[in-house]
Amino acid sequence: MFTQPLYIVWQQKNMLGIPIIDEQHRSIVSMINTLFYFSQNGKNDELIDSVLDSLKQYTRLHFTTEEEMLYACGYPEAESHIAYHREFTAHVEKMLQEPDDEEKMGRVMAFLKRWWLHHINNEDRKYVPYVQDC
């Protein structure tokens, strides 16, 4: 039980080379791993809800950091990147409002893993040259 593998293993390839963004991404992945651990080990809903709330708040903080950076550095695709953030937030809220069933947490976890890894390794990589030259 205590030695189960992590849901998302942070790898060097996930690093963008922007220290604050890399640190925030690592923190988000850590929260997703904590959520997975608790959901797999039968922790009560109150504890899972607490992790979900922390994850939502930290995600907002991360998006704010990233969006301010994109504007400050003149990233030409800033608006579409921000829209992508808003779509994520709306989708997560919608998923969490769905009635509870045995598969709900699995769907939420799979979405979080897929979205964050794609976001970091595909969408965020697009702005790296603009931010590094800023």
DSSP state of 105: H
User: Are residues 65 and 24 in contact, defined by beta-carbon separation less than 8 angstroms?
Assistant: yes
In a domain, residue 10? The reply is no
Q: Tell me whether residue 2 is in a domain.
A: no
Q: For the residues 101-130, what does the mean pLDDT come to?
A: 91
4-34 pLDDT, tens digit per residue, is 689 999 999 999 999 999 999 999 999 999 9
CATH code: domain of residue 75: 1.20.120.50
What is the domain extent for residue 86? 17-132
Query: Tokens at residue 122, please?
Result: 């595909």
pLDDT score of 74 more than 80: yes
Q: Is residue 3 part of a domain?
A: no
Q: In angstroms, rounded to a whole number, what is the distance separating the alpha carbons of residues 61 and 55?
A: 10
Picking from 120, 105, 128, the residue whose alpha carbon sits closest to that of residue 26 is: 120
Q: Is residue 58 part of a domain?
A: yes
Counted domains in the chain: 1
Does 64 fall in a domain? yes
> Does residue 28 form part of some domain?
yes
CA distance 105 to 79: 31
pLDDT above 60: residue 1: no
pLDDT tens-digit readout, 81-114:
999 999 999 998 888 888 877 788 888 899 999 9
Residue 87 lies in a domain: yes
Burial of 49 (0-12, 13-18, 19+ CB in 10 A): exposed
Domain for residue 5, yes or no? no
- Token pair belonging to 85: 């953030």
Whole-angstrom distance, CA of residue 4 vs CA of residue 119:
26
Count of helices and strands (H, E) across the chain: 5, 0
